Structure 1
Amino acid sequence: MTIDIETRFRFRADNPTDVLLQFEAARVPEQTLDNLSTTMSDSPHIARVAAQDTIGERLWVRVEGEFDVHHTASATINRMLTELEPLDRLDLHDLPGEAVPYLFDSRYCAGDRFQSFVSSEFGNASGGAKVIAMRDWIADHFAYTPGSSTPTTTALDSFVERQGICRDYAHVMITFARAAGIPARFVSCYAPDVTPQDFHAVAEVFLADPSTPGGGAWYLVDATEMADPAEVVKIGVGRDAADVSFLTSFGPTEFLDKTVSVTRSG
């Protein structure tokens, strides 16, 4: 099956402003991309730089006036799909360097503050079974409510209010996992069946890889239950949403509009 993506958005800056964008489907082994196209307004400076963990790319653009972006891609998913429940948690001293930073607190995800709750609520489970229990708890206790959170809403805020959007669900999932000593990171992505359709966010946890004795791998987890890992097209990853925002402006900008279309074909 092929996932077809089309994204458009516009923003403006009244004065010359540097903006960092990350919206393109990532060229990584777990997804094959065809019909890839990105067009943007003219800019005196456009530069591509590697994104976090070399998953995807960011684009620096220098903006003055209105700036338009249009991106299309067709993706075929090749990732390893494994049932989470039987997977073991790796001992911390066995974690590879790439996973260690995702144990630590970050701007939106303060795992240290949730250690007591996670231990009491999910202490009887371990590894992938614990991740599933966390995911199901969030799905059962949260209301998906567009407009209920802001760019400053943290996992703790969402936990107290028991509502949010995909970004907030992912932050809480990441926070719970880190509190349990399981590396977890934020994934910006495209996926069909997201309602309302937009850039989507899920979590990714690092657990044992059954195909590699002693090894580990990253596994997608969506507490909103809207995205199937077999159909998720990654844009990028980070410690939380701050690392992988589709638009980060280093000066005043006005966001004008955005449309995202993600459909199945083939």
Structure 2
Amino acid sequence: MRFSLGCEIGYDIAEQSTLIFNIEAMNGGRQDVISENLQITPFIQADYNIAEDTGNRYRRLIVNPCQLTLRYDAEVELRPLHAMPDVIDEVPVSQLPLDILPYLNPSRYCPSDQLARFAARQFGHMEPGHNRVTTICNWIHEEVDYISGASDTSTTAADTFSMRAGVCRDFAHLGITFCRALGIPARFASCYAWQLEPQDFHAVFEAYLGDRWYLFDATRMAALDGLVRIGCGRDAADTAFSTIYGNVNPLAMRVWIKALNADPTQEWTTEAVSLAKD
């Protein structure tokens, strides 16, 4: 499947500030960037870096007072792996690749140690595997209300569990937290999401099962095989689309994604979906 996607973001810069952006689609695995263009107005030379461990792509700008606009356009092809959930097992910690182990640990927004007893009581009796993670997503979807403005940048998964309300990043954080509490490595993923309405940057999570990362979306708001990943990390702190140091006021933001060779009415897959490299 091929997608045309992008975003346009504006800021009012009141004093010299440093801004770090993570808005460009990841390139690798089963996700290929066919073409892309990043416009910065007024033009400012940006430092560029690709994180070795995740593939996240960062741009750092040092900006003097002005009105700044970034526009990113790209064409991306997805070649998602589809698999039957029933045959995808969890991996014992003793057999996990060493570079996956950090995704078992509590992190800033995912205090898995605080929710471990509930996770064990609610999900611990289930047969390990992909279907158990799907059950976690079902529980979040049924028990947590999606309410814009119900959370902020300080809200953790423990807060969401208590309030039973949040937005996509909170749903993802709670899914990650439950997985880690059960010994399933899990990480946060930001993305452009086909069929998401209204369009915005979207947050999902990935769980490491079998021999790869599989996608999960507890909000049920977008198609798993229409998620174009931007960044991944321990939680939202690692994948913010912008990180600002200075006196900066956000202006208008617009996000879009369009399928170029798919039927927009097609049903979402019920199979397991992965964009990880083979």
| Equivalence for 1:76 | 77
1:258 alignment partner, one of 250, 253, 258: 253
Q: Confirm whether residue 180 of structure 1 aligns to residue 175 of structure 2.
A: no
Check whether the contact 1:81–1:229 (CA below 8 A) recurs between aligned residues. no
User: Structure 1: which 5+ residue stretches go unaligned?
Assistant: 209-215
Tell me the alpha carbon deviations over residues 165-198 of structure 1, each in whole angstroms, 9 at most, x when there is no partner: 1111000000000000000000010111212210
Q: Percent identity?
A: 34
Which has the higher mean CA deviation after the structures are superposed, 136-145 or 72-81? 72-81
| Equivalence for 1:107 | 108
| Equivalence for 2:264 | none
Tell me the alpha carbon deviations over residues 126-169 of structure 1, each in whole angstroms, 9 at most, x when there is no partner: 12121111011001111111111111111111111111111110
| Equivalence for 2:90 | 89
| Equivalence for 2:268 | none
| Secondary structure in 2 matching 1:15 | coil
Check whether the contact 1:85–1:132 (CA below 8 A) recurs between aligned residues. no
User: Structure 2: which 5+ residue stretches go unaligned?
Assistant: 262-278
| Secondary structure in 2 matching 1:201 | strand
- Equivalent pairs, count: 259
Check whether the contact 2:194–2:222 (CA below 8 A) recurs between aligned residues. yes
> Shift of the alpha carbon at 1:56?
3.1
Tell me the alpha carbon deviations over residues 214-262 of structure 1, each in whole angstroms, 9 at most, x when there is no partner: xx20000000112222111010101000101000012221111100111
> Shift of the alpha carbon at 1:44?
5.1
Q: Confirm whether residue 226 of structure 1 aligns to residue 227 of structure 2.
A: no
Check whether the contact 2:119–2:182 (CA below 8 A) recurs between aligned residues. yes
| Secondary structure in 1 matching 2:204 | strand
Tell me the alpha carbon deviations over residues 41-60 of structure 1, each in whole angstroms, 9 at most, x when there is no partner: 24554110123624231001
| Secondary structure in 2 matching 1:11 | strand
> Shift of the alpha carbon at 1:18?
1.1
| Secondary structure in 2 matching 1:99 | helix
| Equivalence for 2:270 | none
Write the distance in 1 (CA, Å) between the matches of 2:18 and 2:52.
19
Q: Confirm whether residue 140 of structure 1 aligns to residue 132 of structure 2.
A: no
Could you state the TM-score of these two structures normalised by the residue count of structure 2?
A: 0.89
Check whether the contact 1:84–1:129 (CA below 8 A) recurs between aligned residues. yes
Cα RMSD (Å): 1.4
Q: Aligned partner of 2:118: which letter?
A: F
Write the distance in 2 (CA, Å) between the matches of 1:224 and 1:83.
21
2:244 alignment partner, one of 249, 257, 261: 249
Going from structure 1 to structure 2, the CA distance change for 1:13 and 1:85 (only over 3 Å counts) comes to farther
Check whether the contact 1:111–1:178 (CA below 8 A) recurs between aligned residues. yes
Q: Aligned partner of 1:121: which letter?
A: Q
Going from structure 1 to structure 2, the CA distance change for 1:111 and 1:120 (only over 3 Å counts) comes to same
